[in-house]
C-alpha cells in the first residue's frame, strides 16, 4: 500500500456546492428546471465579448499558454488601480493563489489564523502543506469580525492571517480600521480576501501603499462571470509578488481562460450590469425572506445571504434536501466550521429565479 501523508489521511475533504447534473440525476428532475443558488455564481452569465474571444481563439488550444501574462496583468492592474508589478494571476481561480501562498510562506508547524466561520478552503489548502490552523472569531449575531480574537491569536509562529471581506458565508464587511489594527499587530502576511468586493462597492487597495505585509485576494469567478474558466489574482508589493512567481506553476492559466479574462475586463458595460443585477437580486431576496417568521436572514454585502433556519424545525441538510427535491439548490452550511446544523446560504439569481425560490420557500415554511 502506498504510504500517504498522515495529514492527508486526517484531512476533512472540502465540500463544494451541489451541481445541477448531480441533482437532476438524484431526484429525476429536468436540468432545465433546476435553479442553482448554492455556489455564488453570476446570474448574468458570461460576457458576450468573452464568448466571442474564446470562439475566435479556440484553435490555440494545441499551443502552450502565455507564461508571464503581462497583458492580462496590465489590464487587471488598471481595473484595480495598481501597477502590473503588484499582480500575480492564478489558473485555478483564487485557490491556486492560496496554494502558492502556502508554498511561499509555510514551513511545517507554522500557524495561520482563520476567523470562524469563513471560507474553509484556506484551511484545506494550508494544512496539506504542514500549516496549523488557529481559529479566531467572527461574531455571527452582529455579522462582524471580532478583531481582538484575531490579534490575541497571533504568535511568533503565525505566518498568514485571513480576513475575508465580505465574509463567506456571512456576507459582512470588515471595517478598514480593523484591518489596519491587524496589519499593525504583526509581521505575518495579512490576506484580505476580496472575492466579492464588487458587490460591496468597498475595497482596501489604498492600504497596500502603507503595509508591505498585506495581500489582497480576488477572482474572476463572481462578478466577472468566469467561474468555469478558473482565473484568480492577488495584489501585493512587488517584492513579495516576485517570490510567489518563483513557486507558481508557469503554465497554469489556459489559453482560453486568458483570452476570456482579457475580453471580460474590456466589457465595462457587462461588468456594470452584472454588478447591478446581483445587488438588485440580493436586496429583493433579503426583503422577501425577511417576511418569513421562521427564518432569520442576515444583511449581506456579497452576492449571497446567510439564513438561520432553526425555527423551521429542520436541520440544514433536511432543509436543503427539501428544496432540492423542488429543483432549488442552496448551500447547506453544516460543513463551515463555526456554524451548527441550522444554517443555509442562498446565492443571488435572476429575479425570475428569485421569485420561484420564494414561492417554493413559502410552500416549505410559510
* pLDDT single digits (tens) 295-314: 999 999 999 999 999 999 99
Question: Is 190:182 a contact under the CB 8 Å cutoff?
Answer: yes
Task: Calculate ∠ Cα 232-237-240, nearest 5°.
Answer: 80
pLDDT at position 53 over 80: yes
pLDDT at position 222 over 90: yes
Alpha carbon 328 to chain centroid, angstroms? 21
Give the pLDDT score at 14. 63
Euclidean distance between the first and the last CA atom of the chain, given in angstroms as a whole number: 54
What is the 3 state secondary structure string of 186-243?
CCCEEEEECCCHHHHCCCCHHHHHCCCCEEEEEECCCCCCCHHHCEEEEECCHHHHHH
Q: What value does the mean pLDDT take over residues 337-341?
A: 96
In tens, the pLDDT along 247-289 reads: 998 888 999 999 999 999 999 999 999 999 999 999 999 999 9
Split at pLDDT 50, 70, 90, the class of 177 is very high
Multiple choice CATH, 48-267, 3.10.580.10, 3.40.50.300, 1.10.540.10, 3.40.640.10: 3.40.640.10
pLDDT at position 41 over 80: yes
Task: Calculate ∠ Cα 203-330-283, nearest 5°.
Answer: 50
pLDDT at position 214 over 90: yes
Give the pLDDT score at 251. 85
Q: What percent of the chain has pLDDT over 90?
A: 85
Give the pLDDT score at 250. 85
Split at pLDDT 50, 70, 90, the class of 25 is confident
Distance from C-alpha of 292 to C-alpha of 323, rounded to nearest angstrom: 16
Place of cell 423542488: 326
Give the pLDDT score at 15. 63
Split at pLDDT 50, 70, 90, the class of 200 is very high
Distance from C-alpha of 174 to C-alpha of 246, rounded to nearest angstrom: 31
Split at pLDDT 50, 70, 90, the class of 65 is confident
Q: What value does the mean pLDDT take over residues 60-80?
A: 91
Domain ranges of the chain: 6-45+269-365, 48-267
Give the pLDDT score at 266. 98
Split at pLDDT 50, 70, 90, the class of 7 is confident
Q: Give kind and range of the element (H or E) at residue 49.
A: helix 48-56
Q: What value does the mean pLDDT take over residues 290-295?
A: 97
Split at pLDDT 50, 70, 90, the class of 217 is very high
Give the pLDDT score at 116. 98
Q: What value does the mean pLDDT take over residues 71-93?
A: 96
Name the CATH topology of 6-45+269-365: 3.90.1150
Give the pLDDT score at 24. 83
Average pLDDT along the chain: 94
Q: Which three cell numbers stand for residue 99?
A: 496554494
Distance from C-alpha of 120 to C-alpha of 139, rounded to nearest angstrom: 17
Amino acid at each position: 500500500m502506498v504510504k500517504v501523508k498522515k495529514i492527508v489521511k486526517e484531512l476533512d475533504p472540502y465540500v463544494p456546492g451541489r451541481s445541477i447534473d448531480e441533482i437532476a440525476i438524484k431526484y429525476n428532475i429536468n436540468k432545465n428546471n433546476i435553479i442553482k443558488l448554492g455556489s455564488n455564481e453570476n446570474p448574468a452569465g458570461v460576457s458576450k465579448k468573452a464568448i466571442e474571444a474564446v470562439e475566435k481563439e479556440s484553435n490555440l488550444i494545441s499551443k502552450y499558454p502565455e507564461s508571464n501574462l503581462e497583458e492580462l496583468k496590465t489590464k487587471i492592474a488598471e481595473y484595480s488601480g495598481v501597477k502590473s508589478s503588484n499582480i500575480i494571476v492564478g489558473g485555478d481561480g483564487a485557490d491556486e493563489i492560496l496554494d502558492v501562498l502556502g508554498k511561499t510562506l509555510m514551513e511545517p508547524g507554522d500557524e495561520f489564523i482563520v476567523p470562524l466561520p469563513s471560507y474553509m478552503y484556506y484551511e484545506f489548502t494550508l494544512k496539506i502543506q504542514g500549516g496549523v490552523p488557529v481559529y479566531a472569531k467572527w461574531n455571527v449575531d452582529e455579522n462582524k469580525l471580532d478583531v481582538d480574537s484575531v490579534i490575541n491569536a497571533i504568535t511568533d509562529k503565525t505566518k498568514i492571517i485571513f480576513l475575508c471581506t465580505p465574509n463567506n458565508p456571512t456576507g459582512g464587511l470588515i471595517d478598514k480600521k480593523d484591518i489596519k489594527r491587524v496589519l499593525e499587530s504583526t509581521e505575518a502576511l495579512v490576506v484580505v480576501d476580496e472575492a466579492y468586493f464588487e458587490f460591496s462597492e468597498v475595497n482596501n487597495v489604498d492600504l497596500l501603499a502603507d503595509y508591505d505585509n498585506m495581500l489582497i485576494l480576488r477572482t474572476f469567478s463572481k462578478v466577472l462571470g468566469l467561474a468555469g474558466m478558473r482565473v484568480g489574482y492577488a495584489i501585493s508589493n512587488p517584492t513579495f509578488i516576485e517570490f510567489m512567481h518563483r513557486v507558481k506553476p508557469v503554465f497554469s492559466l489556459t489559453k482560453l481562460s486568458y483570452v476570456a479574462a482579457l475580453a471580460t475586463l474590456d466589457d465595462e458595460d457587462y461588468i456594470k450590469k452584472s454588478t447591478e443585477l446581483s445587488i438588485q437580486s440580493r436586496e429583493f431576496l433579503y426583503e422577501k425572506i425577511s417576511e418569513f417568521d421562521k427564518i432569520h436572514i442576515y444583511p449581506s454585502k456579497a452576492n449571497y445571504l446567510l439564513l438561520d433556519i432553526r425555527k423551521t424545525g429542520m436541520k440544514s441538510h433536511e432543509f436543503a434536501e427539501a428544496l432540492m427535491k423542488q429543483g432549488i439548490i442552496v448551500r447547506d452550511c453544516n460543513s463551515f466550521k463555526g456554524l451548527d446544523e441550522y444554517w443555509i446560504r442562498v446565492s443571488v439569481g435572476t429575479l425570475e429565479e428569485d421569485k420561484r425560490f420564494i414561492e417554493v420557500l413559502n410552500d416549505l415554511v410559510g
